């Protein structure tokens, strides 16, 4: 597979991640009886909701960092770190959905991958 295609797969996987955590919130609403538009009411629902919101918050920084890295540094580094970000966010979500104190490892993996994407993208800009 070429690098462009692999970057596309990372983007598709990240969108799939967004859909998964979105559906997890709906499932938690159904199981716990927390009706929209409420965002509190049962700890299981609140963890699912925070998982989704934290993933959305991180994605707002991830996509531009992915673009910067792929455009100005290296597409190979971009898809590799992007895949690591997706993996970290999956580990984060699985942990957080189980118990709030199990989200740390996934958060750190995703945060480090995203930070490197941004740093390499900015480095690429500075050295052009």
Q: Is the pTM of this model over 0.85?
A: yes
Does domain 3-126 fall under CATH 1.10.10.10? My reply is no
Residue 3 scores a pLDDT above 90: yes
* 30 classed as catalytic: yes
Phi, psi of 96 (to 5 degrees): -65, -40
Catalytic member of 30, 47, 50, 76: 30
Check if 47 is active-site.
no
Residue 1 pLDDT > 90: no
Sorted by where each begins, the domain ranges of the chain are 3-126
From the candidates 47, 89, 103, 128, which is the catalytic residue? 103
Note the pLDDT tens digit of each residue in 51-95.
Answer: 999 999 999 999 999 999 999 999 999 999 999 999 999 999 999
3-state secondary structure of 36: coil
User: In the predicted model, is pLDDT for residue 98 greater than 90?
Assistant: yes
CA distance 19 to 56: 10
**Averaged pLDDT of the chain:** 98
3-state secondary structure of 35: coil
Please confirm whether the linkage preceding 110 is cis (ω < 30° from 0). Answer: no
């Amino acid at each position: 597979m070429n690098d462009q295609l692999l970057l596309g797969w990372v983007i598709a996987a990240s969108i799939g991640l967004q859909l998964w955590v979105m559906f997890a919130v709906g499932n938690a609403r159904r199981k716990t009886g927390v009706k929209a538009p409420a965002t509190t009411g049962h700890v299981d629902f609140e963890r699912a909701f925070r998982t989704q919101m934290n993933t959305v918050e991180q994605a707002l920084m991830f996509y531009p960092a992915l673009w910067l890295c792929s455009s100005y540094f290296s597409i190979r580094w971009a898809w590799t770190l992007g895949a690591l970000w997706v993996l970290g966010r999956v580990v984060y979500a699985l942990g957080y959905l189980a118990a709030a104190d199990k989200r740390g490892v996934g958060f750190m993996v995703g945060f480090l991958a995203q930070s490197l994407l941004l740093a390499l993208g900015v480095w690429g800009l500075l050295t052009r």
